[in-house]
């Protein structure tokens, strides 16, 4: 048994009932075989054992009162996974499916993603099984305040800087920040994705979606191609999906489908983004309304069917494991040539295999959606310097970072003899920097 196999076996044994964590760890560790082979000192230092064990896991009770006066209790999490290259950094997810396995998979991914940005940020993730959907603003505020009443003691601008993820957007960050500021009496960059009036950065809202398109554009360019005239399918109907759609359209692509967790819309004439934004961002409504408002578009209950729509480029931007092997095969059969992961771990291990075997250019999440956290790090830099960059300045830096990531993962894959395998490239390039820092720090 190799070193990697032993670490994986132990991880599964000692962290039972954490399937998403096992999946992310398997995807990462199996690609690191050639790196640990080249560096026998890693095994001596138990580097992989330390890499897969969070530095700290915080779990807490979040009690709050709903609009009917009833006391509700949710679970709160913050996994401070790895601070070798910078303060813990990563989003908070509020969704009923949240559990320790999901937060740990996200945290593990985040370590390498943040490393790939080239900026000094470590990996962390947190969240709650609270469901903001259908809650009043007051209920969301009550929940966020209670959540921060515990979280504040564990975070700080140089310690751990949370941000948004599924179910956590500008509104939630505002309430969380307000409560942190009240408790600590500090107006600092302790959260990113803040509003522009209180220290946020331009482009952070758009960053993950834009970044996804910038890196995909670079992959297209390397093959003498572009977004112009391409048919694109995007899953999700949230922050990442909306701004991926906007940027893809601005580059001449036709986005024909999107979904939320109830169903998908197909618009052969191209998605009307102003209508999408009105439904989602203004009214907090459901995607179903799109078909009622736009002639020629169709709404279908259920999500999976979206992957049967023929496209050149598929951009999963909703959640983990939304593309399985069968959906991947359907995409391939229908001529899909590029997959860029806007969501975290949207493709199962089997789906990735289908894409790679069939020559699809597959850009894995930790590279493809790194634009969000990269821009969070730019927000931290602006907060520390007490300065604001213009939209054009931040956007240019984001684009530069994404283009860089593409070439780094491309070169790392080539260096190890796996040209075009960006899962290998991203894991290896991201891991090397973290491993270097961990070795330099000694046994900690
Ligand atoms: P949002 O909450 O803004 O939107 C999430 C969207 O995905 C919603 O349309 C939601 O539908 C849909 N969705 C969630 N769960 C499911 C499900 N089980 N099945 C089908 N659809 C689902 O989140 P974001 O756009 O911020 O995040 C989307 C993905 O991108 C996540 O994987 C996140 O981790 C990742 N990501 C986000 C970053 C960011 O900066 N925000 C950065 C990097 C990655 P519904 O409303 O019906 O629940
Ligand atoms: O998955 C992610 O990278 C995010 N949700 C963004 C994290 C951040 O700190 O901006």
pLDDT in tens, 22-71: 999 999 999 999 999 999 999 999 999 999 999 999 999 999 999 999 99
Q: Is 166 in the pocket of ligand 1 (CB under 6 A)?
A: yes
User: Sorting pLDDT into bands at 50, 70 and 90, what band is 130?
Assistant: very high
CA-nearest residue, atom 15 of ligand 1: 319
Closest residue by Cα to residue 402 from 258, 209, 263? 209
CA-nearest residue, atom 4 of ligand 2: 91
Average pLDDT, the chain: 98
Is 366 catalytic? The answer is no
The pLDDT value given to residue 77:
99
The pLDDT value given to residue 121:
98
Closest residue by Cα to residue 429 from 49, 32, 7? 32
User: Hey, what are 368's tokens?
Assistant: 């493809």
**Cα end-to-end distance, the chain, whole Å:** 26
Other Cβ atoms closer than 10 A to 148: 26
- Catalytic choice (89, 113, 125, 254): 125
Burial class from Cβ neighbours inside 10 Å (0-12, 13-18, 19+) for residue 335 reads exposed
Atom nearest to 121 CA in ligand 2? 9
CB 41 within 8 A of CB 439: yes
The pLDDT value given to residue 418:
98
CA-nearest residue, atom 3 of ligand 2: 373
The pLDDT value given to residue 185:
98
User: Sorting pLDDT into bands at 50, 70 and 90, what band is 276?
Assistant: very high
Ligand 2 centroid to residue 364 C-alpha, Å: 15
User: Sorting pLDDT into bands at 50, 70 and 90, what band is 356?
Assistant: very high
Query: Could you say which ligand is closest to the alpha carbon of residue 208?
Result: 1
Ligand 1 centroid to residue 241 C-alpha, Å: 8
Q: Is 122 in the pocket of ligand 2 (CB under 6 A)?
A: no
Dihedral (C-alpha) 47, 127, 174, 346: value to the nearest 10 degrees? Answer: 80
The pLDDT value given to residue 204:
98
Q: In what order do the strands lie in the sheet with 160-163?
A: 56-65, 71-82, 122-128, 88-94, 160-163
Dihedral (C-alpha) 209, 390, 116, 180: value to the nearest 10 degrees? Answer: -90
Q: Is 105 in the pocket of ligand 1 (CB under 6 A)?
A: no
CA-nearest residue, atom 9 of ligand 2: 90
Measured distance CA(161)–CA(377) in Å, rounded:
9
User: Sorting pLDDT into bands at 50, 70 and 90, what band is 285?
Assistant: very high
**In DSSP terms, which residues pair with 264 in a beta bridge?**
259, 300
């Amino acid at each position: 048994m190799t070193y990697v196999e032993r670490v994986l076996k132990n991880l599964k044994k000692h962290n039972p009932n954490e399937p998403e964590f096992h999946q992310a760890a398997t995807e990462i560790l199996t690609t690191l075989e050639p790196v640990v082979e080249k560096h026998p000192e890693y095994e001596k230092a138990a580097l992989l054992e330390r890499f897969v064990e969070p530095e700290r896991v915080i779990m807490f009770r979040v009690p709050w009162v709903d609009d009917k006066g009833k006391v509700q209790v949710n679970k709160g999490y913050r996994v401070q996974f790895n601070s070798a290259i910078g303060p813990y950094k990563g989003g908070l997810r509020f969704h009923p499916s949240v559990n320790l396995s999901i937060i740990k998979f996200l945290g593990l991914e985040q370590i390498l993603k943040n490393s790939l940005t080239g900026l000094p940020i470590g990996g962390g993730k947190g969240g709650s099984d609270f469901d903001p959907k259908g809650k009043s603003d007051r209920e969301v505020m009550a929940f966020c305040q209670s959540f921060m009443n515990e979280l504040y003691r564990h975070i700080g601008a140089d310690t751990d800087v949370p941000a948004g993820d599924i179910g956590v957007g500008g509104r939630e960050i505002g309430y969380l920040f307000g409560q942190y500021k009240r408790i600590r009496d500090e107006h600092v960059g302790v959260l990113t994705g803040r509003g522009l009036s209180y220290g946020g950065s331009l482009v952070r809202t758009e960053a993950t979606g834009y970044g996804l398109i910038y890196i995909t554009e670079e992959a297209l360019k390397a093959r003498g191609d572009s977004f112009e005239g391409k048919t694109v399918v995007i899953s999700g109907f949230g922050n990442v999906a909306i701004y991926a759609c906007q940027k893809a359209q601005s580059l001449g692509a036709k986005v024909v489908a999107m979904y939320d967790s109830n169903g998908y819309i197909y618009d052969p004439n191209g998605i009307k983004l102003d209508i999408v934004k009105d439904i989602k961002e203004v009214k907090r409504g459901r995607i179903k309304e799109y078909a009622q408002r736009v002639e020629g578009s169709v709404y279908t209950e259920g999500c999976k069917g979206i992957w049967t729509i023929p496209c050149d480029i598929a951009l999963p931007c909703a959640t983990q494991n939304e593309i399985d092997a069968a959906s991947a095969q359907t995409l391939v059969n229908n001529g899909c040539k590029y997959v860029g992961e806007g969501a975290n771990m949207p493709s199962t291990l089997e789906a990735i295999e289908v894409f790679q075997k069939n020559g699809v250019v597959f850009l894995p999440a930790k590279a493809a959606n790194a634009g969000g956290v990269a821009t969070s790090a730019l927000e931290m830099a602006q907060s520390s310097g007490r300065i604001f960059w213009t939209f054009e300045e931040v956007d240019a830096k984001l684009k530069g970072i994404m283009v860089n990531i593409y070439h780094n993962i491309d070169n790392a894959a080539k260096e190890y003899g796996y040209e075009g395998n960006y899962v290998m490239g991203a894991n290896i390039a991201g891991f090397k920097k973290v491993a270097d820092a961990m070795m330099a720090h000694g046994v900690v």
